[in-house]
């Protein structure tokens, strides 16, 4: 079977030690196809960029309350707590989630599946 891609020959020298006295260097020649290099690069970039599990999260003290919001690998969230005023939280990812009016002393919570553009808000009544 013939491949249309160009061949790249990679020479590798490997060192073997026998009885800690004699060093033997063996020359290996490995043949790669340019097509495989391209597929390898695509696989590497998709793993490096697409499967990252890092999350962006922040906690802020806003308008007398505590607002926690962020974006994870699957969800965007917004949590807001205020001890003396009614409040709400909104998270917008693929869809919109609104906690509705939440009375003072109770945490408002909004979570939705993330998307290309994610937003988080809080509201004081």
- Per-residue pLDDT of 77-115, as tens digits, reads 999 999 999 999 999 999 999 999 999 999 999 999 998
Q: Is 96:90 a contact under the CB 8 Å cutoff?
A: yes
Instruction: Tell which residue, 49, 47, 52, has the closest CA to residue 71.
Output: 52
Q: How many angstroms separate the CA atoms of 15 and 26, rounded?
A: 7
3-59: pLDDT as tens digits: 444 444 445 555 555 555 555 555 555 454 555 667 677 766 666 666 555 568 889
Q: Where exactly are the structural domains of the chain?
A: 7-50, 61-124
pLDDT of residue 41: 72
Looking at domain 61-124, its CATH class is: mainly beta
Q: Does pTM surpass 0.75? A: no
């Amino acid at each position: 079977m013939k491949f249309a891609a160009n061949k790249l020959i990679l020479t590798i020298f490997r060192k073997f030690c026998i009885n800690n006295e004699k060093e033997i260097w063996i020359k290996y020649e490995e043949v790669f196809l340019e097509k495989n290099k391209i597929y390898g690069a695509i696989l590497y970039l998709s793993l490096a960029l697409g499967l990252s599990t890092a999350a962006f999260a922040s906690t802020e003290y806003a308008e007398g309350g505590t607002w926690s919001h962020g974006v994870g690998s699957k969800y965007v969230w917004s949590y807001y707590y205020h001890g003396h005023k009614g409040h709400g939280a909104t998270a917008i990812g693929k869809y919109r989630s609104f906690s509705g009016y939440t009375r003072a002393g109770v945490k408002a919570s909004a979570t939705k599946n993330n998307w290309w553009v994610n937003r988080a808000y809080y509201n004081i009544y």
